[in-house]
Structure 1
């Protein structure tokens, strides 16, 4: 131990390199490295490292296979939903066309119904006008007849006497 301390003290002075058992410092480092590698090989550290790496590689390969499976499932789902969307769009287009056709039919029916209603109303109005005309004509005729009868009664009363009555009665009896 004294030799080691002395070597360290002389190294601190910067004069000599440490040496022990006739080996220089770089040789001691080489020997330590050799012993470390020998112990690692003896304890099968490289095998454990490669085994760990192989296990990790197997785990990564398993994860990649799972990822491929998940990707395939996702693509299948995507394709399924694309098909569903296309079917929904086709159904929506069919519904839109059906609704348009129904709306067109309703518009056409409403147009024909409104035209028929206008024609009925016009006919009713014409019938009312015709009835009002007939009523007005009948009313005018009745007034004319009443006026004529009143005028005739006045004329007859003014110009008709008992002798005219006898001649008229004789004429009626002769015609029978």
Structure 2
């Protein structure tokens, strides 16, 4: 048995395992594995904490996004209302402007008509006076003629003006 290789391999293995136990390698291996487990657990805890923070941040940003969208919609609605109000005011001012201009034009037309009528009457009076003067000068003579002419001229002027 002392000459068999398996025997010496078994003795060497037992001696090696005993040496490892004596030196406390099994405790060092267990401590190393425990340390690794603790590090992995710490990393998992940190990852979970970061994930929770990220989810909270994402929820916050989504809430802010919804608020921003709501505010943007309100601003757009307000801008549309303002634009409609400004358009209505502009239309009203334009209508008032057109009405004022129309009234001014009508007033100018009436004034022009009245002035034209007055000019026509004045011209007609001048023509009538000249015609009456000529007729009376031809048909009447002397002081009576002059009195009649003067009286006729003043009557025609008074009636036509």
Specify if TM > 0.5: yes
Partners of 1:165 and 1:141 lie apart in 2 by 26
Q: Residue deviations 1:97-122, cap 9 Å, x none?
A: 11111111111111111111111111
Alpha carbons of structure 1 residues 31 and 65: separation in structure 2 relative to 1, 3 Å: same
- Greater length-normalized contact order (CA 8 Å, ≥ 6 residues apart): 2
Matched with 1:94 is 74
Partners of 2:146 and 2:79 lie apart in 1 by 91
The answer on 1:153 being equivalent to 2:130 is no
Alpha carbons of structure 1 residues 166 and 94: separation in structure 2 relative to 1, 3 Å: closer
Matched with 1:122 is 102
Q: Residue deviations 1:72-127, cap 9 Å, x none?
A: 11111111111111111111111111111111111111111111111111111111
Tell which structure's C-alpha radius of gyration is larger. 1
Partners of 1:34 and 1:23 lie apart in 2 by 17
Q: CA RMSD in A?
A: 2.1
The answer on 1:71 being equivalent to 2:55 is no
From 89, 100, 105, the equivalent of 2:85 is 105
Structure 2 counterparts to residues 1-176 of structure 1, below 5 A: 22-162=2-142, 164-165=144-145, 168=148
> TM (normalized to structure 2)?
0.84
> TM (normalized to structure 1)?
0.77
Give the structure with the larger helix fraction: 2
Alpha carbons of structure 1 residues 109 and 101: separation in structure 2 relative to 1, 3 Å: same
Q: How many residues align?
A: 150
Unpaired runs of at least 5, structure 1 = 1-20, 172-176
